[in-house]
Structure 1
Amino acid sequence: MSILLIGSLDDDDYADWKTHLLAHLPAGETLVLANEPHDVDAVEIALVANPPHGTLARYPNLRFVQSLWAGVDRMLSDPTLPTAIPISRLVDPALTQAMVECALASVLLLHRQLPAYVRQQARAEWKQLAQPLAGQRRVGVLGLGALGGACATALAGIGFAVSGWSRAPKAIDGVACLSGGAGMEQLVATSDILVNLLPLTPDTMGILDARLFGRLPQGAGLVNLARGRHLVEADLLAALSSGQVSHAVLDVFAQEPLPGEHPFWAHPGITVLPHVAAYSAPESAARIALENVARHRAGQPTTAMVDPARGY
């Protein structure tokens, strides 16, 4: 029986992943690639990177799916996805570190008012703006999973007053952890900078909307590093026009690549990043994924199991 690598990958990506997977492949295992001829009946395990809808249903003997990405929302939206097969997400310290770095950079960009200084530079205007210290800036983090929790901890570690929200109650040193509807209301109302790291589920789709923006403190900053479909784009543009939101750092978009004619590109209140906050690096992810495969083969508990009912 074999392990399949399948995803929305080009030939170069397949070759890169193959190199790193073979370096960690357990003895006795066979790796096959979806872009090469292979026996569908022999596949028991799939290593997946956003596989096109309908593809996993072609493997009648599939028993375990290991995602090579941290997010699994696109895969779970596949109506043909076999429902009884266990799925694991990727939890990679290297990916987490990359997300922490991007969250820190984005929050510091807003905290230190760099967009305002960029605009002043364009006008050759020398004007020093009042600058609070980090402890005087309230940062809210939506989502306290592996990525959100690490980002909240790092932000608190450099002095920000950090609150975090999660679906279920959590406890993180240095972070005021909130949950439930009342907790969400409190977090939004007290976030000078709001960072979104929620998983994308039916409940969170479109959560960054006019109602949420209206509950933020006047002139709050927004950082979206999660999914583009969390954001109602027209509502953000309106909130920027009114001054309710002062600036937004966006790494993810409903359509990617972001179309050249999209208004976000030229908007002075938006910093566009081309989905670079964090990505799965084959150098580290291959080993972690195959370690989980070995646990599955040995009948041991696998890590980061997905609950399809929750969407992550």
Structure 2
Amino acid sequence: MSTGRVNILFAAPAHLWDQYRDPLAQALAEAGVLADLSRDHAPEAVDWIVYAPGGPLSDFSPFPRAKGVLSLWAGVERIVPNATLRLPLARMVDEGLRQGMIEWVVGHALRHHLGMDAHILRQDGVWRHEAPKLASERPVTVLGLGELGLACALALAALGFPVTGWSRRPKAEPGLARCLSGRELLQDALRGAEIVVLLTPLTSDTENLMDAERLALPARGFVLLNPGRGALIDDGALLAALGSGQVGHATLDVFRQEPLPPDHPFWAHPRVTVTPHIAAETRPATASRVIAENVRRGQAGEPLLYLVDRKAGY
């Protein structure tokens, strides 16, 4: 491992500096990295860039000795198109983000599976002895089997749901009922599902993935959970499918425009639940350890974790 001091530029929105400064410094020290962490390093002195969109940096070209860009976010669709970024780019995958996503997906899947909304809303003195199905009788499809998608799919499978996982590239996971891949098998993955979870990356191939045609494939009245990316769904097609009853409920954590405008029809729709992009928040303590490990790896000449494939877009 290189023993020299490394200069790390924190190029994220200003409000994140106070949240990350101390956890990053501690994680770097624990990883054995001697580092100067700052928001103000001169470009020619920077070795590593910790980055999130919305900060002061948009041009990556004036960093002649930088070894890589380490994203604080899991999604990189706002970074990859930047033509000035020619450095290796690593996305964020950390235990806090993963656990948060599992809890959101499992919580809302169980909420709909058990019919909790009806019990909460119908406290009217009428005894309705209506037991829900068992999990084994309710097929679930998870679109996207990356770090987060696979973790959620396995958590649901562990509860007894028959889970079909779909990914763009072939994957094998014995813990799932089925693993399908490729555009040609997307219809098979969706057909008959009673709960659909969207966790694919957002690329030109996945934008509007759930359009009118695909929304018609799952079981009538199915539940759609989207903690992935807002643009995975054609909003107009979803509203139409909710109106027809093809979609029984949509629980959405991400949107094309955030914050979701107050006059957006999702807010007032009786079968839409809006959560404010909280399914998988990056936590400074756990994210800092991932950043520190990648700096350590890079300084030691080891491969970086979670490198982004620019051509694939994730």
TM-score, normalised with respect to structure 2: 0.91
Distance 1:199 1:45 in 2: 25
Query: Closer, same or farther in 2 for the Cα pair 1:27/1:93, shift >3 Å?
Result: closer
Distance 2:61 2:261 in 1: 32
Which residue in 2 is equivalent to 1:174? 175
**Structure 1 segments of 4+ aligned residues over 4 angstroms from their partners:** 123-126
Give the secondary structure class of the aligned counterpart of 2:47. strand
Which residue in 1 is equivalent to 2:310? 308
Which residue in 2 is equivalent to 1:222? 224
Distance 2:116 2:192 in 1: 22
TM-superposed deviation, 1:197: 0.5
Which residue in 2 is equivalent to 1:160? 161
- 1:192/1:221 contact within 8 Å kept: yes
Which residue in 2 is equivalent to 1:2? 7
Distance 1:252 1:283 in 2: 24
TM-superposed deviation, 1:128: 4.1
TM-superposed deviation, 1:235: 0.9
Distance 2:293 2:175 in 1: 32
Which residue in 1 is equivalent to 2:25? 22
Please, what is the CA RMSD of the aligned residues? 1.8
Distance 1:76 1:280 in 2: 19
Give 1:251's match in structure 2, choosing from 250, 253, 273. Answer: 253
Which residue in 1 is equivalent to 2:77? 73
- 2:195/2:224 contact within 8 Å kept: yes
Distance 1:60 1:124 in 2: 71
Give the secondary structure class of the aligned counterpart of 1:73. coil
Structural mapping, 1:194-209, within 5 Å: 194-209=196-211
Distance 1:249 1:28 in 2: 45
Deviations 1:119-174 (A, max 9, x none): 434x7765344511000000000001110011000000011111100111112122
- 2:9/2:41 contact within 8 Å kept: no
- 2:140/2:194 contact within 8 Å kept: yes
Aligned-residue sequence identity (percent) comes to 41
- 1:120/1:127 contact within 8 Å kept: no
TM-superposed deviation, 1:253: 0.6
Which residue in 1 is equivalent to 2:147? 146
Query: Closer, same or farther in 2 for the Cα pair 1:303/1:213, shift >3 Å?
Result: same
Deviates more, 1:107-116 or 1:186-195: 107-116
TM-superposed deviation, 1:73: 1.2
Which residue in 1 is equivalent to 2:3? none
- 1:120/1:126 contact within 8 Å kept: no
Distance 1:24 1:159 in 2: 38
Distance 2:65 2:287 in 1: 25
- 1:88/1:303 contact within 8 Å kept: yes
- 2:197/2:225 contact within 8 Å kept: yes
The one-letter amino acid paired with 1:289 is I
TM-superposed deviation, 1:51: 4.8
- 1:6/1:51 contact within 8 Å kept: no
Deviations 1:34-67 (A, max 9, x none): xxx4312111211112255724344343321111
- 1:47/1:67 contact within 8 Å kept: yes
Distance 1:219 1:27 in 2: 53
- 1:50/1:72 contact within 8 Å kept: no
Unaligned runs of 5+ in 1: none
Distance 2:126 2:88 in 1: 58
- 1:227/1:253 contact within 8 Å kept: yes
- 2:102/2:152 contact within 8 Å kept: yes
Give the secondary structure class of the aligned counterpart of 1:306. coil
- 1:152/1:162 contact within 8 Å kept: yes
Give the secondary structure class of the aligned counterpart of 1:248. strand
The one-letter amino acid paired with 2:272 is I
Distance 1:180 1:28 in 2: 45
Aligned length: 304
- 1:153/1:173 contact within 8 Å kept: no
- 2:142/2:163 contact within 8 Å kept: yes
Query: Closer, same or farther in 2 for the Cα pair 1:93/1:40, shift >3 Å?
Result: same
Distance 1:99 1:31 in 2: 29
